[in-house]
Structures are given as C-alpha cells and as structure tokens.
Amino acid sequence: MNSKNKNLLIGGLIIALIIGVLSPFIASTNPDGLEATAQHLNPNAMQNPGYYHAPFEDYKLPFLGNSPLAGIAALVIGVLIALGFVYIITEIIKRRGNTKN
C-alpha cells in the first residue's frame, strides 16, 4: 500500500469514528424513515421483529445501560467491524487477482 492510499484510509477511518462518536448526540429521538413507516402501516410491527434480532439494538450495548457511552461504543464497534469486512473482502479480491496472472 502506497503512502497516498494509506493516508486516505486513515483519514476515512478518522472521519467514520468522529461521526460514530458524535451521532448519539445529534441523532433525532423521533422515529423516522423505515421505522416510522412500519409503525404507521402496522403499529404492532415493532413489537414482534420476526426472526432477526440486531446485535446492537437501538445502537446500544446492553451491559452499558442507556447512556450516550453505550451508543458511542456500539457505533465505534460497528465502524471497526465494517472496516474489518471491507479489509477481508479486498484481500480476497487481491489474492484472486494475483492467481489469475
């Protein structure tokens, strides 16, 4: 990885972490988007989420309680997990590209 790509990666990671840290403080407490539509169309939809349960429901870590710290920790962990997935996928793609040559 050259210096320019490394700086871009570090800059993107810093921006993602800043957004993750600030979002519990600037996010709306009113449901909007998909959640609000589900409640509008079927008020019982949110009571029974079906078979899938999110790992960090409401962007909180249960053992940290209902504090902004719980939201920050969940978002930072989510950013790092997403970064890990992207890294693994790019490594797989790079290795497949090297074997075809």
pTM of the predicted structure, to 2 decimals = 0.61
* pLDDT > 70 fraction of the chain, expressed in percent and rounded: 74
How confident is the model over 43-79, as pLDDT tens digits?
776 666 566 666 666 667 777 777 778 778 888 888 8
Closest-CA residue to 20 (of 80, 62, 66, 67): 80
For residue 22, what pLDDT band results from cuts at 50, 70 and 90? confident
Cα angle for residues 29, 32, 37 (degrees, 5° grid): 140
The pLDDT value given to residue 49: 59
